[in-house]
């Protein structure tokens, strides 16, 4: 029998729902990386044209190639005619010149170079078209189920699509999988060609605002509107967000700053219970003792909103009966925490102590009790 009982943790009683953020973006996704909490999802799983934000997948594959030895930072890669022919945001690469992998990476991150993406794509897969297929395959392996790539850089092309959640996922993976490369995303300028000195500034509008922003990538096409995959860290918390469909660069900048401020000022990360905090007691059949405690397996840290009405519940769920022997630390149930406006959280509850089987007298008493219950049930129910 599944049993549900109300439970409480001291700090939960003081946690309050936050004000929802009404974004002007046509699609958005906000994720608290520190606690794994989705703070906002608006059309987050709809495949949309990602513009240059899809360059993050090209960068992820390049970083993987550096990590497994297929590329080195000082490798000099040849610029093909196809790479040099790209328009839009470029490094102004010339056909036949050779450029280091490190410069190409900065050219993509800081300058949003369409041409730099193609150079890396051709080095890794032979052709850009083949690299796009490889991107799609790798994205699927990573759980990005709403992404299909037709090129390496997000240049408008039918079928080139990513969802906001997928963009948030690749951004998160860039941060966590490649901490040695991630600081590149915070660089505000990169001068590659002195003849194009004006083309050296990072387009990310948040990097100079002093709000902890340190990445990742802007995007803009007529079809996609203005978008940004961003991340900011304040204290021990990191937030990743994705927005798309804004009408102007100014609107993108304002919306991005507003989202960062909302995410950090409306929520705080708190420890609601240390590992070993006892939540409830449950009965044990045929044991040397009659009950065992259910306690938190791990320290419970989660986001709790600052303002609003008190609407947070905690419920311990477990399935009876529990029968001895029971080992300390065995998972016996879970604690389900519900917060207004945020996803529920489920954490395991484990046995607080070992419970040995009962002796002969305990088993005899249990058998007698069972027999008495059947007799009292009557002949029809006992049959």
Is 52 part of the annotated catalytic residue set?
Answer: yes
Catalytic residue among 26, 42, 55, 352: 55
DSSP, res 12: G
d(C-alpha 366, C-alpha 344), whole Å = 39
Q: How far apart are CA 257 and CA 264, in angstroms?
A: 11
Contact 169, 177 (CB under 8 A): no
Characterize the bridge pairing of strands 267-273 and 312-319.
unpaired
Question: Which tokens hold the place of 375?
Answer: 């007799």
**Distances 300 to 43, 104, 128, 295, 314 between C-alpha atoms, Å:** 30, 43, 46, 11, 12
Q: Is 55 a catalytic residue?
A: yes
Sheet containing 2-7, strands listed edge to edge, beginning at the edge strand earlier in sequence: 2-7, 312-319, 331-339, 342-351, 291-296, 278-285, 322-323
CA geometry: angle 8, 36, 186, nearest 5 deg: 140
DSSP-derived secondary structure letter, 370: H
Identified catalytic residue from 80, 112, 163, 244: 112
**CA-to-CA separations, 237 to 179, 186, 346, in angstroms, rounded:** 16, 17, 21
CA distance 120 to 99: 10
191 phi, psi to nearest 5 deg: -95, 105
15, 26, 42, 52: the active-site residue: 52
Residues catalogued as catalytic = 52, 55, 112
């Amino acid at each position: 029998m599944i049993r549900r009982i109300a439970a409480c943790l001291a700090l939960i009683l003081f946690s309050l729902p936050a004000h929802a953020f009404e974004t002007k973006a046509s699609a958005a996704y906000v994720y608290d990386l520190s606690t794994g909490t989705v703070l906002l999802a608006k059309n987050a799983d709809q495949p949309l044209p990602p513009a240059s934000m899809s360059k993050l997948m090209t960068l992820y594959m390049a970083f993987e190639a550096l990590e497994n030895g297929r590329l080195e930072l000082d490798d000099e890669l040849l610029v093909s005619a196809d790479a040099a022919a790209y328009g839009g945001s470029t490094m102004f690469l010339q056909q036949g010149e050779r450029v280091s992998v490190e410069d190409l990476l900065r050219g993509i991150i800081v300058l949003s170079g369409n041409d730099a993406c193609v150079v890396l794509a051709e080095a890794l897969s032979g052709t850009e078209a083949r690299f796009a297929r490889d991107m799609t395959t790798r994205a699927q392996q990573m759980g990005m189920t709403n992404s299909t790539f037709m090129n390496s850089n997000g240049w408008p092309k039918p079928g080139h699509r990513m969802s906001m959640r997928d963009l948030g996922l690749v951004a998160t993976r860039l941060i966590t999988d490649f901490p040695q490369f991630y600081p590149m995303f915070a660089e505000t300028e990169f001068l590659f060609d002195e003849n194009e000195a004006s083309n050296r500034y990072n387009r990310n509008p948040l990097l100079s605002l002093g709000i902890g922003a340190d990445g990742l990538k802007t995007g803009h096409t007529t079809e996609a509107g203005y978008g940004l995959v961003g991340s900011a860290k304040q204290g021990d918390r990191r937030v990743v967000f994705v927005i798309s469909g804004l009408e102007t660069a100014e609107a993108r900048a304002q919306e991005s700053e507003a989202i960062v401020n909302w995410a950090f000022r409306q929520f705080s990360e708190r420890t609601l219970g240390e590992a070993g905090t006892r939540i409830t007691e449950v009965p044990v059949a045929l044991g040397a003792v009659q009950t065992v405690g259910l306690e938190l397996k791990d320290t419970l840290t989660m986001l709790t909103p600052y303002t609003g009405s008190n609407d947070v519940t905690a419920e311990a769920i477990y399935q009876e009966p529990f029968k001895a022997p029971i080992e300390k630390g065995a998972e016996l149930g879970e604690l389900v925490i519900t917060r207004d406006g945020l996803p529920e959280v489920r954490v395991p509850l484990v046995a607080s102590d070992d419970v040995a089987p009962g002796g002969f007298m305990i088993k005899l008493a249990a058998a007698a009790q069972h027999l008495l219950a059947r007799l009292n049930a009557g002949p029809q129910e006992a049959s």
